[in-house]
């Protein structure tokens, strides 16, 4: 956890005060003021009109700005005591959301506003770690741009070269993660290097990153993409963006290979620009001397999701999607996705796999203990049929409310299927894809090989892809094995 400091948020429209925690280095801007949380816990306020900076103990906002502020702050659950936190991870999640689909960020903000307000012109400034949007109800005096940003921070980490036995000190930007053959390391918000413990299901502090010489060669090649004016090597978000830029110019593989020796080469290099991430396989032809490497910038949760995405989305080398224009999809049973809605089969599959719980619980707790305000928890707060958005400690709901949440969540999955599937489907295929998208999320669905097979009219190939999505937070999950089997059976009916 980073350094968070509690402040008061004054909703001047409602004459209401609330408490929020802000991470050091985070800035919130509205029409007239820019509020920044400093490392000493003091809130600096820059007046855009007078050009003067003062220190205050509260943020003053109108109601629509208040709602936008809390919408972004609720992107992640950083606090284990139930308090609301505005963090760098929250802002990065919003940036990733925008990069994935601008309308998703726009809709997320809009859901938290009154109906009279609209969200216009959302923007993400990747290099500045910043997002902004114009919120308006049509009256200029009651409209403004709101913006969120966070500072770059670099912290030292050690690399243990197991080939030479030497130790090297490097710097990593806060939020950068590196995965080496399934071992996931991340520079956390507190400036400490952490490694994900798959058995405990949590991040634990570690002394350094272990890697062989050829893995270190690739690591250093990526870290050298941008010079951050430091004497030691630095792995930063800008380096990852630079690597993604090289990939788009078809130069990344050559750039990485020039640093490799002893017949080592990279292959199957892929970028995930909507997630500020890329992966590559390094090998000299010997399976025991090869490695899958993943570089990612984002929250701790997103680092695990990217690991699952790379593992789940591995395509058979001897089976790739082929555009099959000979598939005849004519007749009443085949419809454009826009003409379909989920049937009872989709809802029954989702409800059967998403256990109904009518109170707040931790999704990593097998005992489903009721989480009340002040209780500690490791995973994501969940309620109903796997609903997570806006869930707080101490909540209780009835079955009717759980059904309402389910319909809201299914609606988002339906939107994703209708948006990205470009071929005609049968009802059972549509239902299976809705269940799949509901479970893996829009971003993963959009980038999945499964979708590529579907859009190539290769439905037998698509069916095989379901069984690949069985990893959760780095581990094979029996529940997902069962769910993927049911989705595949429904899809192939």
Residues recognised as catalytic? 354
Copy the structure tokens of residue 119: 């969200």
Tell me how far apart the alpha carbons of residues 97 and 91 are, in angstroms, rounded to a whole number: 10
Per 3-state DSSP, the chain is made up of helix, strand and coil in percentages (nearest 5) of 35, 30, 35
Tell me how far apart the alpha carbons of residues 26 and 87 are, in angstroms, rounded to a whole number: 7
Q: Is residue 486 classed as helix, strand or coil in its secondary structure?
A: helix
Helix locations, 157-275, DSSP H: 213-223, 237-248, 252-257
Residues of 325-359 as b/e, b for ≥16 C-beta within 10 angstroms? Answer: eeeeeeeeebeebeebebeebbbebbbebbeebeb
* Residue 459: C-alpha distances to residues 115, 370, 376, 436 (Å): 42, 42, 45, 15
Copy the structure tokens of residue 450: 């499964």
- β-bridge partners, 82: none
Place of tokens 């005609």: 424
DSSP 385-448: TTB-TT--TT-B--HHHHHHHHHHHHHHHHHHHHHH--S-B-HHHHHHHHHHHHHH-HHHHHH-
- β-bridge partners, 420: none
H/E segment holding residue 170: strand 167-173
Give yes or no for a contact between 488 and 466, defined as CB atoms under 8 angstroms apart: yes
Residue 318 contacts by C-beta under 8 Å, 6 or more apart in sequence? none
Tell me how far apart the alpha carbons of residues 371 and 368 are, in angstroms, rounded to a whole number: 9
Place of tokens 């409310």: 401
- β-bridge partners, 125: 130
Tell me how far apart the alpha carbons of residues 8 and 6 are, in angstroms, rounded to a whole number: 7
> Which candidate, 406, 489, 423, 414, places its Cα nearest to that of 458?
423
- Burial class of 150 by CB neighbour count within 10 A (0 to 12, 13 to 18, 19+): buried
Q: Looking at 24-129, which runs of residues are DSSP E strands?
A: 26-29, 33-37, 43-47, 52-56, 58-61, 85-86, 118-125
């Amino acid at each position: 956890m980073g350094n968070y400091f509690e402040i008061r948020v004054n909703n001047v429209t409602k004459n209401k005060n609330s408490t929020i925690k802000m991470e050091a280095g985070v800035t919130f801007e509205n029409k007239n003021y820019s509020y920044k949380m400093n490392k000493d816990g003091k809130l600096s306020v820059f007046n855009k009109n007078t050009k003067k900076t003062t220190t205050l103990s509260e943020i003053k906002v109108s109601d629509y700005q208040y709602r936008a502020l809390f919408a972004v702050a609720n992107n992640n659950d950083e606090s284990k005591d139930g308090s609301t936190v505005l963090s760098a991870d929250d802002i990065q999640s919003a940036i990733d959301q925008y990069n994935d689909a601008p309308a998703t960020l726009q809709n997320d903000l809009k859901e938290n506003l009154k109906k009279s307000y609209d969200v216009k012109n959302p923007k993400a400034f990747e290099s500045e770690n910043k997002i902004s949007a114009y919120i308006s109800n049509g009256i200029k005096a009651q409209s403004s741009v709101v913006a969120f940003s966070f500072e770059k921070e670099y912290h030292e980490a050690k690399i243990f070269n197991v080939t030479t036995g030497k130790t090297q000190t490097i710097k990593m930007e806060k939020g950068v993660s590196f995965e080496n053959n399934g071992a996931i390391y991340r520079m956390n918000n507190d400036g400490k290097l952490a490694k994900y413990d798959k058995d405990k299901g949590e991040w634990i502090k570690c002394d350094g990153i272990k890697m062989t010489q050829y893995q270190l060669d690739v690591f250093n090649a990526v870290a050298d993409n941008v010079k951050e004016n430091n004497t030691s090597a630095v792995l930063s978000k800008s380096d990852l963006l630079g690597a993604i830029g090289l990939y788009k110019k078809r130069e990344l593989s050559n750039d990485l290979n020039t640093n490799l020796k002893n017949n080592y080469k990279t292959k199957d290099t892929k970028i995930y620009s909507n997630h500020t991430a890329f992966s590559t396989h390094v090998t000299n032809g010997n399976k025991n001397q090869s490695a899958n490497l993943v570089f990612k910038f984002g929250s701790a949760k997103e680092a695990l999701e990217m690991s699952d995405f790379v593992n789940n989305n591995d395509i058979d080398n001897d089976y790739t999607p082929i555009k099959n224009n000979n598939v005849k999809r004519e007749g009443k049973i085949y419809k454009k996705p826009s003409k379909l809605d989920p049937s009872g089969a989709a809802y029954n599959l989702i409800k059967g796999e998403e256990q109904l719980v009518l109170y707040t619980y931790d999704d990593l707790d097998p005992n489903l203990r009721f989480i009340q305000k002040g209780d500690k928890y490791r995973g994501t707060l969940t309620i109903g049929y796997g609903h997570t958005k806006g869930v707080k400690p101490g909540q209780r709901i009835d079955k009717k409310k759980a059904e309402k949440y389910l319909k809201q969540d299914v609606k988002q999955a339906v939107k994703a299927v209708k948006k990205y599937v470009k071929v005609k489907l049968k009802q059972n295929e549509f239902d299976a894809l809705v269940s799949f998208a509901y479970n893996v999320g829009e971003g993963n669905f959009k980038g999945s090989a499964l979708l590529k097979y579907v859009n190539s009219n290769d439905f037998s190939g698509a069916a095989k892809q379901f069984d690949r999505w069985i990893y959760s937070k780095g581990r094979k999950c029996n529940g997902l094995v069962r769910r993927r089997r049911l989705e595949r059976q429904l899809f192939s009916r």
